[in-house]
């Protein structure tokens, strides 16, 4: 059994999967460790769907995609399987799992499912091994470079790298949400009456009949005409990095699901025969730990649409802060043709020699993180982290001193938008 690799990535969401594929395609031996039984992260486990905005518009009103490279290849493969809509936003997560498996295997990535990283050896800002628990027992795996794509910066936390939690100064995080779906909805009736849902919901809230603090009911279409997707539960003032509070969040969220289902079935004919067909396997966490990095992306950077000279990923998604305190969502949109880029240094924990991050746990303020946390951008960051790990190995360099230009050169060759 192989236990030594060039690169180990922890977390099989869009960030970790893209990182592993990118490194493996550059000829490196790569192990990708995932705690569940498939790849896809929030899309697979939290039922997060559809993809949020990952494009800008040119002067002719045509879409220009910012998340390209591996993410675009994923979309193309979903399209070949008839598993994504024509707008390339709504997708079938079951086929996504297949696509990600195939891309990893084709690249030569070793996959290790149903495995938790429960420990690590680290000293002087350098990681030497991770301890993994699964049905086989506890095994140590060694690598020259490591990628933390856990979303919660779990590996950084275990290894003692500094981080922040939530907003300044009170460490409150954006609410958690358990997504769910209802099937057998009368779609024609729904179209006629959907504008009545939020006014009645707010009336019920004011009367104490609805406990969910979210200000409205957020509904998305799915690839099945009679199935609707709900991203509308809201769990506030609980710490997603505390296991007991996370457990409480899961319990409260399921009660909110039932509350919402009953509200719809009892008040709208479109839902009279509808059934609750699925909930996320885990609650969706928007924000938790964020590393203290070589650089930190700020709200000012986003509002000024700063394109960093060491940019490794581009994003145009709005600042989207679900209130940590209860009701309300702060939204600041960008102009149709504007975007910002994420500097390489935001992926690197301060003075880190061989550990890099990708995904929503990079170094950013509460406000900036609310924009970059979407799955397409996480995929782009993951590809950048994977390329950085392969380049660092070739150059025998540390992440904290690696020339970002070398990473950018490869990303440009891969078709990524970095400027």
Query: What CATH number does residue 227 fall under?
Result: 3.30.70
Does some domain include residue 174? no
Are 162 and 295 members of one domain? yes
- Do 291 and 272 share a domain, yes or no? no
Q: Within a domain: residue 240?
A: yes
> In the listed set 279, 301, 317, which residue is the last one of a domain according to the structure?
279
Query: Are 31 and 164 contained in the same domain?
Result: yes
In this structure, is residue 148 part of a structural domain? yes
Give the distance, in angstroms, between the CA of residue 418 and the centroid of all CA atoms in the same chain: 19
Domain edge (last residue) among 256, 279, 302: 279
pLDDT at 1: 83
**Shared-domain flag, residues 159 and 235:** no
Residues 357 and 326 in one domain: yes
Q: 264 and 342, same structural domain?
A: no
Domain membership flag for residue 374: yes
Kindly state whether residues 107 and 12 are assigned to the same domain: yes
From first to last of its 419 residues, the chain has per-residue pLDDT tens of 899 999 999 999 999 999 999 999 999 999 999 999 999 999 999 999 999 999 999 999 999 999 999 999 999 999 999 999 999 999 999 999 999 999 999 999 999 999 999 999 999 999 999 999 999 999 999 999 999 999 999 999 999 999 999 999 899 999 999 999 999 999 999 999 999 999 999 999 999 999 999 999 999 999 999 999 999 999 999 999 999 999 999 999 999 999 999 999 999 999 999 999 999 999 999 999 999 999 999 999 999 999 999 999 999 999 999 999 999 999 999 999 999 999 999 999 999 999 999 999 999 999 999 999 999 999 999 999 999 999 999 999 999 999 999 999 999 999 999 99
Does a structural domain hold residue 372?
A: yes
23 and 152 share a domain?
yes
pLDDT at 16: 98
- Do 199 and 129 fall into the same domain? no
pTM: 0.97
Looking at residue 150, what is its pLDDT? 98
Which CA distances in Å does 411 have to 66, 206, 382? 13, 51, 11
Do 147 and 10 share a structural domain? yes
Domain co-membership, 373 together with 239: no
Last residue of a domain, one of 236, 256, 279: 279
Give domain status of residue 173, yes or no. Answer: no
Same domain, 161 and 48: yes
- Give a yes or no: residue 71 inside a domain: yes
Is 56 inside a domain boundary?
A: yes
Q: What is the pLDDT of residue 169?
A: 87
Domain CATH for 138:
3.50.50.60
Look up the domain containing 209 and give its range: 180-279
- The tally of domains found in the chain comes to 2
């Amino acid at each position: 059994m192989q236990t030594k690799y060039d690169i180990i990535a922890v977390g099989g969401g869009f960030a970790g999967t893209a990182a592993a594929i990118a490194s493996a395609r550059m000829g490196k031996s790569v192990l990708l460790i995932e705690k569940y039984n498939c790849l896809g992260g929030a899309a697979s486990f939290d039922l997060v769907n559809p993809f949020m905005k990952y494009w800008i518009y040119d002067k002719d009103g045509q879409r220009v995609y910012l998340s390209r490279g591996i993410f675009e290849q994923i979309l193309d493969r979903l399209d070949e399987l008839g598993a994504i809509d024509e707008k390339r936003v709504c997708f079938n997560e079951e086929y996504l799992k297949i696509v990600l498996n195939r891309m990893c295997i084709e690249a030569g990535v070793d996959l290790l499912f149903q495995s938790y990283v429960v420990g690590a050896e680290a000293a002087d800002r350098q990681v030497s091994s991770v301890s993994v628990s699964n049905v086989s027992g506890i095994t140590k795996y060694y690598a020259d470079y490591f990628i933390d794509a856990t979303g919660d910066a779990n590996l950084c936390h275990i290894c003692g790298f500094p981080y922040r939690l939530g907003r300044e100064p009170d460490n409150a995080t954006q609410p958690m949400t358990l997504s769910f779906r209802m099937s057998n909805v009368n779609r024609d009736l729904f179209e006629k009456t959907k504008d009545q849902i939020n006014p009645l919901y707010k009336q019920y809230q004011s009367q104490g009949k609805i406990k969910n603090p979210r200000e409205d009911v957020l509904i998305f279409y799915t690839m099945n005409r009679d199935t609707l997707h709900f991203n509308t539960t809201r769990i506030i003032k609980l710490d997603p990095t505390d296991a007991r509070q996370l457990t409480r969040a899961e319990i409260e969220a399921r009660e909110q699901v039932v509350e919402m289902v009953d509200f719809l079935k009892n008040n709208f004919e479109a839902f009279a025969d509808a059934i609750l067909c699925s909930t996320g396997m885990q609650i969706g966490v928007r924000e938790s730990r964020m590393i203290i990095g070589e650089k930190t992306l700020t709200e000012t950077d986003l509002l000024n649409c700063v394109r960093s000279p060491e940019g490794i990923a581009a994003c145009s998604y709005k600042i989207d802060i679900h209130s940590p305190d209860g009701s309300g969502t702060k939204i600041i949109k960008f102009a149709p043709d504007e975007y910002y880029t994420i500097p390489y240094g935001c992926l690197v924990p301060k003075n880190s020699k061989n550990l890099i991050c990708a995904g929503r746990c990079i170094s950013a303020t509460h406000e900036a993180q609310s924009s970059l946390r979407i799955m397409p951008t996480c995929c782009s960051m993951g590809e950048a982290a994977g390329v950085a790990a392969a380049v660092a190995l070739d150059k025998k360099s540390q992440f904290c001193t690696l020339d970002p230009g070398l990473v950018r050169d490869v990303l440009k060759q891969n078709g990524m938008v970095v400027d």
